[in-house]
Structure 1
Amino acid sequence: MVKLVLALAALALTLLAVYAEDEVHDISTFKLGEGPVEEALAEGETENPDVVTEAPAASGILSAIAGISIPQCVRKKADLTCPDSDINYYLYSGETKKMKFDTTSDEWFEQSGFDVKKPTVFLFHGYQGGENVMPTVILRDAYIKNGSYNLITADYPTLVKERCDRAAQQNAEPVAKCTADVFAYLKKNGVTAEQTTCIGFSLGAHICGITANFLPEKMAKIVALDPAGARFNRRNKDKRLDEADALTVHAIHTDTRRYGEGEVVGKADVCVNNGRQPACKDAPSESSNDFILN
């Protein structure tokens, strides 16, 4: 009984730490999680200079008292060298054809099936997401079925793991930097930013915006799906999405009361169900109370 009480107390401290700016604990006392970075550290290999690993705030207490192994948070340096093994891009140029990007190969583009006559769409997932994780899958499969676009999905699940929200937010810039390298590769092969649309869910919406800071020309459009609000400083537009990041920036807000952004971030912002996400079974289908912020 005592152990249960202590475990619950530790869990409460951990939850409080998620919403507070606590200092990061020394990871040397914690159990290693699973993943390439943790495996390399466990085997004594040289640590990647572009990577900093850390435990989520207050996880040391939870680990020590409750005996729970806490996954390591991976934080990439903003000036990392791209391409990076934790940040991958995939091209879908047909209903069944999927190819992992190789920006180091001049021959890759010719072999990829990329059609420069078609518009290009970049798709970015959010916190705890991935290229094969909902809701990214719905958007990905819809574009594949349509067949009228060069679809590029970004995949970086190691950088946006559960309970690593602070590291995930800071990893947005490194992902954006590597995305700019993909843009540079495409431009060298005749594709321009004006031919592209960037779609980002939650954290991914800000990656679209931050990527714009590394590009010499603006993208045609950014579509922000429930852009994240937590930890993204509204005063520093270089570290988040704003209306100047593309020729057109549209935002659809569905969670302005908790995790989502409640302020205007685009040239057209739509708030679905007044910016809330009621339970579907209780939400009347005949009235959604949508409105446009600007």
Structure 2
Amino acid sequence: MLRLYFFISLMCLVKSDPDETCPSFTRLSFHSAVVGTGLNVKLMLYTRKNRTCAQVINSTVFGNLNMTKKTTFIVHGFRPTGSPPVWMEDLVQGLLDVEDMNVVIVDWNRGATTVIYNHASSKTRKVANVLKEFIDQLLVKGASLDNIYIIGVSLGAHIAGFVGKMYNGQLGRITGLDPAGPLFNGRPPEDRLDPGDAQFVDVIHSDIDALGYREPLGNIDFYPNGGLDQPGCPKTILGGLKYFKCDHQRSVYLYLSSLRENCSITAYPCDSYRDYRNGKCVNCGIPQKESCPLLGYYADNWKEYLKQKNTPMTKAFFDTAEEKPYCIYHYFVDIITWNKNIRRGSITIKLKDKAGNITESKINHEPAIFQKYHQVSLLARFNQDLDKVATISLVFSTGSVIGPKYKLRVLRMKLRSLANPERPQLCRYDLVLMENIENVFQPILCPKLQM
């Protein structure tokens, strides 16, 4: 809560634009946040027929809304400045790019705009009631609950849950983007988003130590980078306003990345982030095993698998890059050593292709234990996926600043891609790694009989 109050105190004045040619998201000032606003919900429709100019709709006026197509509602959260969400336009256009659907912005800025978070939170059930009345009319006109999809951000995720409860969990899908934690953590299912609120509920947790909800809330819960500090976000208050909202907003930008063709983020079902980082939960990426769940828009491809396995709730972990589109490419580095004594340390691996592109992975989150003739499989993460690797470099380090330098005698090193398991695996034999000294070599194709 402390971080939340700091966030509010740093908000700046936002002025409204009186000149509008198309209906747009309500724009309020920081003054409105200070004095408070009464709840007023405005629904704005975008379709491929009017993707750049919204239509204001209600329970009697439906505009271009096609009752036979999917209708996706976007519900924002707490707005302490009164400004429109910076990501809203990209989300609308991204959804329309991937599917011909109805996209409805649920603008409850008059109600969400306040410096007192509790006041905004107290209006969430009222917003849900407004949505229920509108969806009821869609059903009268021939729409199906199966085709109703609600994307809720922060407080909006719990609003989506409240709507789902009123339909006994028969909504097609709910996606919660870092559901709000303050005032909701520890609450019973009836007072928050819950896996039973829709036929499929997927959640992205990106700020579980501050503004987001910590525990699982969906049929599948994604925890990017463990759900804590996100790469590229400020680590201290010196980062200004971005420090308070960057982790929380990252869930939205990760979802947006799933709408782009050049980024498909794979997640790995696992009991803990530590187990994922140690490579214990990547069986879904192995050929002839089940496919891995995808983050974001296409997460519901995993719905049938969950039903088959009779698994009501699953946690999935993955890492991201610092910048858009955030994709990380996973490889296993298998190392067999022949040192007489046990060695403990970390490995840095660098890949280079013939064009000179270089990508690097530091596998140093936890010291690896290298024993004689024992294979250690390390999960490496790269920002680039190089199709044809020309050279590989390895650095072994014990992390000791003072003391003797050690050697790691490698009997065999093998590199295998998880993202593209059909690619030939690359090997190298009989290497001696001097501590903290880079060893560069050309790999060779591993014998096909090796696993």
TM-score calculated relative to the size of structure 2: 0.43
Residues 74, 150 of structure 2: 8 Å contact kept: yes
Larger-gyration structure (1/2): 2
Given the alignment of the two structures, is residue 98 of structure 1 paired with residue 54 of structure 2, yes or no? Answer: yes
- Cα deviation for residue 181 of structure 1 reads 0.6
Match of 1:192 in 2: 144
Could you tell me which of 81, 87, 91 is aligned with 1:139?
91
Residues 131, 153 of structure 1: 8 Å contact kept: no
Pair 1:75–1:170, CA change in 2 (3 A) = farther
Pair 1:150–1:70, CA change in 2 (3 A) = closer
Could you tell me which of 35, 41, 50 is aligned with 1:87?
41
Match of 1:113 in 2: 64
- Alignment partners' CA distance in 1, 2:32 and 2:187: 37
Q: 1:48-87 to 2 correspondence within 5 Å?
A: 71-74=34-37, 86-87=40-41
* More RCO (CA 8 Å, sep 6+): 1
**What is the identity, as a one-letter code, of the residue corresponding to 1:258?**
A
Q: 1:210-249 to 2 correspondence within 5 Å?
A: 210-215=162-167, 218-232=170-184, 234-249=186-201
Pair 1:199–1:69, CA change in 2 (3 A) = closer
Pair 1:99–1:69, CA change in 2 (3 A) = closer
Pair 1:154–1:131, CA change in 2 (3 A) = farther
Residues 226, 251 of structure 1: 8 Å contact kept: yes
- Alignment partners' CA distance in 1, 2:233 and 2:78: 26
Decide which structure has greater helix share.
1
Could you tell me which of 117, 128, 140 is aligned with 1:176?
128
- Alignment partners' CA distance in 2, 1:175 and 1:201: 14
Could you tell me which of 76, 85, 108 is aligned with 1:125?
76
DSSP 3-state at the match of 2:166 = coil
Pair 1:98–1:146, CA change in 2 (3 A) = farther
Kindly tell me the number of residue pairs found equivalent between the two proteins.
Answer: 217
Gaps of 5+ in 1: 1-11, 19-33, 36-67, 77-85
- Alignment partners' CA distance in 2, 1:177 and 1:252: 25
Pair 1:70–1:200, CA change in 2 (3 A) = closer
- Cα deviation for residue 268 of structure 1 reads 0.3
- Alignment partners' CA distance in 2, 1:116 and 1:15: 42
- Cα deviation for residue 70 of structure 1 reads 7.3
**What is the identity, as a one-letter code, of the residue corresponding to 1:122?**
F
Aligned identity (percent) is: 24
RMSD after superposition? 3.3
DSSP 3-state at the match of 2:172 = strand
Match of 1:47 in 2: none
Pair 1:239–1:117, CA change in 2 (3 A) = same
- Cα deviation for residue 170 of structure 1 reads 0.9
